Amino acid sequence: MTVPKVTPIAKPPRAARKETLAEPASVAGELMMGELAQLLGYALKRAQLRVFEDFLQCVAPVQLTPAQFSVLLLLDNNPGRNQTEIAATLGILRPNFVAMLDALESRGLCQRTRSPNDRRSHILMLTDHGRATLMRAKKLVATRHEARLSELLGEDNRVALLAMLAKIAREF
């Protein structure tokens, strides 16, 4: 039994296709953002995505996310604090924080030990490997990521932006 040969139907040129909801004919190029472009929350989120993308590229050699970098910084500056304090300071939910600690611990960057004062609590410490990784990451962040942001904004705007973001985080 022979199977008949089926000739594929060619798609019509883009201009000849019917418009769809995802592809309105009235929009050529970029979408019209309307009031979305004026919403601070949206602008902050878009900026955060771009900043995180740049951060990840800059610290690719040490394979740290912004959250992991933040945890290592806090552990370096606050040795022996418990995981609840670190998670709360960074605003990371407990289940997410436990998973992150598992990943950091499996890479040998930090270690958890039972608190001598509260057996339900774990004390966190950077390992020597964690300190070395953090030092390398800090250098990459300072010389690439933060330097690029500072060049883009200028020092006065950088300081002003930090103050405005701190105000939102503190008072909103």
In a domain, 77, yes or no: yes
Task: Give per-residue pLDDT as tens, 34-63.
Answer: 999 999 999 999 999 999 999 999 999 999
Indicate the helix (H) or strand (E) that contains 123.
Answer: strand 122-126
DSSP state of 28: -
Q: How does residue 2 score in pLDDT terms, banded at 50, 70 and 90?
A: very low
pLDDT for res 8: 42
CATH of the domain at 76: 1.10.10.10
The number of folded domains in the chain is 1
Instruction: Using alpha carbons, select from 57, 59, 97 the residue that is nearest to residue 81.
Output: 97
Q: What is the DSSP letter of 149?
A: H
Contact of 105 with 112, CB cutoff 8 Å: yes
Rg (CA), the chain: 24
H or E segment at 126?
A: strand 122-126
Query: What size, in residues, is the chain?
Result: 172
Identify the domain containing residue 77 by its residue range: 57-147
